[in-house]
Each structure stands twice: as structure tokens, then as C-alpha cells.
Amino acid sequence: MSVDRPPATMTEIAAALGVSSATVSNALSGKGRVSAELSAKIRQAAEELGYVPSHAARALRTGRTGVIGLVLPDISNPLFPQIAQAIEQAAASAGFGVLIADSRGEIAQQTAAIGRLIERGVDGMIVVPRRGSRIADIGTPVAIIDSPSTPGNTVSSDHWDGGVQMGRHLASLGHRKVLLIAHSRESNVQNDRIGGLRAGLGKEVCCETLWVEDLEASKGAGCALGLSVRVADGFTGFAAVYDLLALRALTELQRDGIDVPLQASVSGFDDLVWSSVVMPPITTLRQDLATIAECAVEALGHAIADSEASAGDLIAARPDCEGVPMTLMVRQSTGPAAISVVSDAGNAREDGR
């Protein structure tokens, strides 16, 4: 590998071949008019001299940095790695770099982070908004990954349908009394999932939603969810709205001596890394983050290209991939419902199996 000779510039290539630097630029970008043979020679020379384009110079001249910003809410979200990975990959193959901005904490931080990105001259940004927050209209293309029910959303999983899938899965296992476990009422994603779950479970299933946020407000963060009481009450299914809550439910049930899935089923959303290695592995829904990332980057790319022409609209919209399907990962944390004392007689109606 060539040692650290400072990389060649277009001017140097031009000088080496006795042509003008404009010709080199044209040949390499394929834009102007250059004869095929000269173009080939230039390309070869560029290769040999180890030409590396100067992003700084290009950015200065064209006003485009080739970098997009990635703004994530509360970075502690365990899904972050997968999102970041997917976006980085999609962006890289579209020729973009990804600058991260953490918007930990309050919404003000999110705004500040966005500001920093703009100052750095990103061409656009992808934002996974904090629940309940709206992105102000900044003078830069933005793609938003949130939920189909969020106005301005660009691309996201079909959380509702995911809920439906899980609901059907649980219903088909015979569960007739299910506790839905969510955290925040403000989250569109969580609301979608809850709605889907209810729809998927159907009318015959009795279900109730436990908002952990409310519970923690009175009993303190990390408090017990009191699930064994629910089991005693006849609940056999516990459908959490994301894996972290599912894990919390699972361990609490296990600690209280309740067997999962024999006595109670537990399900989650997102398929986080550990979901498959705990005992029992958690039944959950996997988001197709690769597709989402591709859509987001593509939409953003279009918006960036368009913003050159018409400086009008600023939010990239792409309706055709607003609801990327999630896939159900059935594992061992869900199983046939235990014989419930509460369940009524007519349980054979519409048996899904």
C-alpha cells in the first residue's frame, strides 16, 4: 500500500498528462465532452497517482457536503445500534457520510443537535423524533422515521399491522385475557402497536392496557409491574409494546415462579439482540430496518436533489413506503393459553388453528 504521500489532486493529474484540469474534472465526472481515449488515459493516471477527490473543495464549490445527519432520540434506545447501522450502510452505498447527533434529554437538545448539524453543512438529515415532538421547518431536507400515523412521517414500519400480527398470534394460541404493556401515551409508535394488538386480538379477547409511565409516576422507576396478580386474575397473555418491557415482564413473572410460556405468554416488539438469547427466547416482531433505511436515504436523496431546483418544499415525503411490514418471530415465550378459570365456555368459536 502506498505510504503517506499526500493524495494527488486534479491539477497534478492534469499536469502529468499535459491537459487542463477542467478536462480531468470532465473525464472523471463524465459530464463535459472528452474523447473516449483521453478519458481512459485520465482515469488510468488518476488510478496510478492515487487520486482522492477533495470533499472539502467539492463542497465549497457545489455547496453540497455529501453528508447527512442522523438525529436520534434518547440514544439509550436499544434499537439505536440497528437503526444507525442500517442508515450508515444505506447512506454509504448512496455516497453519503453520516454525521451523528445525539438528542439525549429534552426537546431543546434535539433542536440544538439539529442546529449543530446544519452548521456543519449537512445536505439533509434523518430524524427519529422524540415521542410527541414535531420537527420545526428548518431550511434543510429532512426525512422522518416515526410512525405512519405521524403527520410528516416519511417512512416507518407498519406498527399497527405488527400489532395485528401479534394479536392474531396470541388469539390463535387461545389467549382470551391479555394485558397490553406500554410505556408512554404520547408515543405514536406505541399507540399504533396497541391499536393493532387490540384489532388483532379481536372482539372476543378481553384486554387491558398497562401504562408503565403512569405506574412509575407513583411507584418509582423500575418498580414491579405486579404481573403475578394479573395472572391470578386470569390473564394468560402479556403483550409488551417493545422488547425491553417484554423482558421486564418475563423476568418479573419468572421471579414470581410463574412459568413462561406454560402459565403465561410474553411477547415484545423490535427483536433486540438479547431477545433471542434469554430463556425462553422472546416472541417478537422484527422491523425491516434495512428497507426503512434505504427508503429514508433514497427519499432524502431526492429531496436534496430537488431542493436545488425548487427551494420550495422541505420535507421529503414518500408515501409508497410509509408502512414497511414487520415480521413475526415466533419463539418460546408464547405458547398455548393455560386453562383459564375466567374464560367463558364458548371458546371453540373461530378457532384459528
Does 40 bind DNA (CB under 7 A)? Our answer is: no
Beta strands in 60-176 (DSSP E): 67-73, 97-103, 124-127, 142-144
Shortest distance in whole angstroms from residue 307 CB to its own copies: 11
Which residue stretches of 18-94 are H helix?
A: 21-29, 36-49, 55-62, 80-93
Task: Give the range of 13-21, 162-170, 192-200, 273-281 binding its own copies by CB under 8 A.
Answer: 273-281
Element (DSSP H or E) covering residue 211: strand 206-211
Which of its own copies, DNA, none does residue 194 bind (CB under 5 to 8 Å by kind)? none
**Residues within window 26-65 making contact with its own copies, judged by CB under 8 A:** 52-57, 59-60, 65
> What distance in Å separates the CA atoms of residue 160 and residue 166, rounded to the nearest whole number?
10
Does 58 bind DNA (CB under 7 A)? Our answer is: yes
Question: The cell 364458548 sits on which residue?
Answer: 346
**Residues within window 233-272 making contact with its own copies, judged by CB under 8 A:** 244, 247-248, 250-252, 254-255, 257, 259-260, 272
For residues 203 to 222, the per-residue mask of contacts with its own copies, x marking binding by CB under 8 A and - elsewhere, is -------------------x
Shortest distance in whole angstroms from residue 126 CB to its own copies: 12
Cell numbers given for 297? 436515504
The DSSP result for 168-189, as a single string, is HHHHHTT--EEEEEES-TT-HH
Describe the chain by its helix, strand, coil percentages, rounded to 5. Answer: 40, 15, 40
For residues 154 to 193, the per-residue mask of contacts with DNA, x marking binding by CB under 7 A and - elsewhere, is ----------------------------------------
Shortest distance in whole angstroms from residue 306 CB to DNA: 16
Which of its own copies, DNA, none does residue 202 bind (CB under 5 to 8 Å by kind)? none
Select from 44, 48, 60, 279 the one that contacts DNA (CB under 7 A): 60
Select from 5, 33, 203, 353 the one that contacts DNA (CB under 7 A): 33
Burial class (CB in 10 A: 0-12, 13-18, 19+), 160: buried
> What distance in Å separates the CA atoms of residue 102 and residue 69, rounded to the nearest whole number?
10
Question: The cell 431477545 sits on which residue?
Answer: 275
Does 11 bind DNA (CB under 7 A)? Our answer is: yes
Q: Where on the chain is the footprint of DNA (CB under 7 A)?
A: 6, 9-11, 18-23, 25-26, 28-29, 31-35, 38-39, 51-54, 57-58, 60-62
